[in-house]
Amino acid sequence: MTTTSLTSSRGAGRAGDKVFSGATLAAGCLILAVLFGVALFLVVQAFPALTASPDMIKGGEGFFAYIWPIVIGTLIAATIALVIATPIAIGVALFISHFAPRQLASSLGYVVDLLAAIPSVVYGAWGAAFLAKEISPAYNWLASNMGWLPIFQGPASATGKTILTAGIVLAVMILPIITSLTREIFLQTPKLHEEASLALGATRWEMIKMAVLPFARPGIISAVMLGLGRALGETMAVALVLSSGALTASLIQTGNQTIAAEIALNFPEASGIQVSTLIAAGLVLFVITLGVNMIARWIITRHKEFSGAN
187 binds another protein, rule: CB under 8 A: no
198 binds another protein, rule: CB under 8 A: yes
305 binds another protein, rule: CB under 8 A: yes
199 binds another protein, rule: CB under 8 A: yes
The minimum distance between CB 96 and another protein, in angstroms, equals 16
CA angle 40, 44, 45 (to 5 degrees): 115
Q: Would you say 128 and 159 are in contact if contact means Cβ atoms under 8 Å apart?
A: no
The backbone torsions φ and ψ at residue 99, rounded to the nearest 5 degrees and listed phi first, read: -120, -40
202 binds another protein, rule: CB under 8 A: yes
Phi-psi label, residue 247: left if phi above 0, alpha if psi -120 to 50, beta otherwise: beta
300 binds another protein, rule: CB under 8 A: no
141 binds another protein, rule: CB under 8 A: no
State how far the Cα of 174 lies from the Cα of 79, in Å rounded to an integer: 12
307 binds another protein, rule: CB under 8 A: yes
196 binds another protein, rule: CB under 8 A: yes
Q: Would you say 147 and 154 are in contact if contact means Cβ atoms under 8 Å apart?
A: yes
State how far the Cα of 67 lies from the Cα of 131, in Å rounded to an integer: 29
Nearest in space to 291 (alpha carbons), one of 66, 78, 116, 87? 78
Cis peptide, bond prior to residue 48, ω within 30 of zero: no
* Among 47, 115, 125, 193, contact with another protein (rule: CB under 8 A): 193
* Among 122, 200, 290, 294, contact with another protein (rule: CB under 8 A): 200
Nearest in space to 119 (alpha carbons), one of 252, 264, 224, 240? 240
- Torsion over CA of 93, 94, 95 and 97, rounded to 10 degrees? 80
- Burial zone of 36 (CB within 10 Å; 0-12 exposed, 13-18 middle, 19+ buried): exposed
The minimum distance between CB 145 and another protein, in angstroms, equals 36
Report the residue number, 50 or 100, with the smaller CB distance to another protein.
Answer: 100
* Among 62, 147, 214, 229, contact with another protein (rule: CB under 8 A): 214
Which span sits near another protein by CB under 8 A: 89-97, 197-205, 223-231, 291-299? 197-205
138 binds another protein, rule: CB under 8 A: no
State how far the Cα of 68 lies from the Cα of 246, in Å rounded to an integer: 11
215 binds another protein, rule: CB under 8 A: yes
The minimum distance between CB 298 and another protein, in angstroms, equals 18
The minimum distance between CB 294 and another protein, in angstroms, equals 23
* Among 62, 95, 126, 217, contact with another protein (rule: CB under 8 A): 217
Q: Which helix (H) or strand (E) holds 214?
A: helix 213-233
103 binds another protein, rule: CB under 8 A: no
9 binds another protein, rule: CB under 8 A: no
Binding site for another protein (CB under 8 A): 102, 190, 192-203, 206, 210-211, 214-215, 217, 303, 305-310
